[in-house]
A and B are shown apart, each in its own frame.
Chain A
């Protein structure tokens, strides 16, 4: 029912798996476990994936919710143009980054999660989605109407003072109709 935006889910998964990859890498390097070179690669890959995935894409339909402080990341990611716009590129990039993690116990979890995120990105790419940056909206400046430069020269037309004086004895004829109709200010 309706179009599902796979890319949003893939983005959340990729961000979470980047963090898991990073944590696994830190544990591997800190504990000097066997194969710690893979863990060091895991740290670098985890940081890179987190930076790439932090800025959310603009939704095709509806309001997009930004992550806090994502504007600077959006600018960086946007600078790479079609490489980051296309989700096929992202899917293959994540698949390639996750493979070395499988060789070391501490980063295995990060590898599997990033692999899943890569699959969902592939599904998003097949459905024709792409990454759009969320740019802040520029409010158009409200200009004052042109009529503010040309104030009226004459006072509004009024009947002569004899008619304007209050005539309490004859209320019916004391009422007058404005010669020029009073309307709201068109601007």
Chain B
């Protein structure tokens, strides 16, 4: 039981801790603002007019400030890549938190939606109260022009009202287009509506300037509830009908009545939201600008190779491009679509010997189909074309590289890489890096598990795997790389029959992998060690592996789970 807990803590504790801290900060902020508005002397008259709605709306507004500023930070991808790569963040636990940046963005986004509902409902009640409880004593406090003004007119004719309505509409559009099914089916709708966030922030800055909520500036000279020398009470008689309880309490409280020296002065707040939101917004804008400038240099396509099962390998050259194994790039091809950027993991990073970098693209959607037609205009031609006979390749722009969890493979002593189909691409770049030299890394043993549905898919990297296997055998490190290939299509008996792929054919298993047995075997061979598990593949595999990592309890090994995800 203790070992299972240890596995769970190693895998899940970090992100849950962060979530608890975020929740605690939000609740504290809400509570602090709530109590300030309900009992602060400078809001006494406003609170008497508006009641609970004031405190709820201001409390939710302060937490909205926090979340609107936090939601931008996980999307500064270059910044996160730099944090991850330059080992500024030394602890692996902290780097693993960076893997969850997209989930944190989603959590903040959902919090913004929920709090907006609270904020809007409270302000609708405030609008009604502004109109019904129009104050004759303190005209500066009013938002309505006269008593009983229609609250809908109030909303549509004031700056905070109109901007609030626009903000809700934009938020509604962004929220409904962000569900998982829309992202999977129609990514463009999600992308274009999500880019409305810049309009959202601009309107938000205008929304807080409205000055509907005012505080009293001269609390010492005019203590709330004080009485005038020639009048019985400073507050209006109008409220005596609605709050008879409050009146008697006040009369008994004010035993020795304080005399007002001045009339109450009211002033709207300095828009606090600007302080919260401007810094992350500027950071994000600077980052987008940097990415734009960095991605504006076109790349030269060196070679294009066609592989079986609809996979194309594109080798490119770009001056000043540096990448680590496991990182990915965003490809933009204006001839196919001007605004779409598609993410592809690098399968070969530029090294000192070889400056080209490569990606493997699986042709599965309309963008990739168009792109492949541009690269191979005549389908019957042979696969490889050297630079001399270069065709007119389309212009390409590359944004990146960006970091992923797979960069951590080298930082564990033992790593397990599980790939499903085309998900092998991040691990291919790692194998390429190992070809250049494996002694400079902390990694001592790599288990490479590749599950494919089609036998032809293994040919994508068969040469790479055999080459690395031979090199490690020559260097007398036969236990460094453990290859397991699984073919899930059990219709016919198949095998890799080529002589040069003999190391692979003996490691090919027909049928689905049994993860439990595999993990037990790995645990037995690596007792009392921390093993990094990296998965890039379908949801079914990753879910099963995650569960196994959380609950593994034999042989003292702890499996730490790291998952790649793009959408």
Q: B-contacting residues of A (Cβ < 8 Å)?
A: 1-2, 4-6, 8-9, 12-13, 16-17, 27, 33, 56, 59, 62, 65, 105-106, 108-109, 112-113, 116
Contact = CB atoms under 8 A, between A and B. Distances in A.
B267 to A, nearest CB: 29
B182 A27 contact: no
Given A9-B177, A108-B152, A112-B169, A27 B121 contact: yes
Contacts of B51: none
A8 B186 contact: yes
A1 B336 contact: yes
A72 to B, nearest CB: 20
Interface string B380-413: 0000000000000000000000000000000000
Contacts of A113: 169, 172
Contacts of A9: 176-177, 182, 186, 189
A75 B366 CA distance: 33
Interface in B112-149: 120-121, 124, 127-128
Contacts of A59: 185
Contact of B186 (A5, A27, A33, A108): A5
B13 interface: no
28 contacts: A1-B337, A1-B370, A2-B365, A4-B188, A5-B185, A6-B189, A8-B182, A8-B185, A9-B182, A12-B176, A12-B181, A12-B182, A13-B172, A16-B176, A17-B172, A27-B121, A33-B128, A56-B181, A59-B185, A65-B180, A65-B185, A106-B124, A109-B120, A112-B165, A113-B169, A113-B172, A116-B169, A116-B173
Contact of B176 (A1, A4, A5, A13): A13
Contact of B181 (A4, A8, A16): A8
Nearest to A27: B121
Interface of B is mostly: helix
**Most chain-A CB neighbours within 10 Å: which of B151, B152, B172, B340?**
B172
B175 interface: yes
Nearest to A34: B128
A105 B129 CA distance: 13
B186 A4 contact: yes
Given A12-B182, A113-B172, 12 more contacts: A1-B340, A1-B370, A2-B365, A4-B186, A6-B189, A8-B185, A8-B186, A13-B172, A17-B172, A27-B121, A106-B124, A116-B169
Contacts of A5: 185-186
Nearest to B339: A1
A82 to B, nearest CB: 25
Contacts of B169: 112-113, 116
B124 A1 contact: no
B331 to A, nearest CB: 14
B168 interface: yes
Interface string B333-367: 00011001000000000000000000000000111
B158 to A, nearest CB: 15
A65 B181 contact: yes
B255 to A, nearest CB: 37
A108 B156 CA distance: 12
B89 interface: no
A6 B193 CA distance: 13
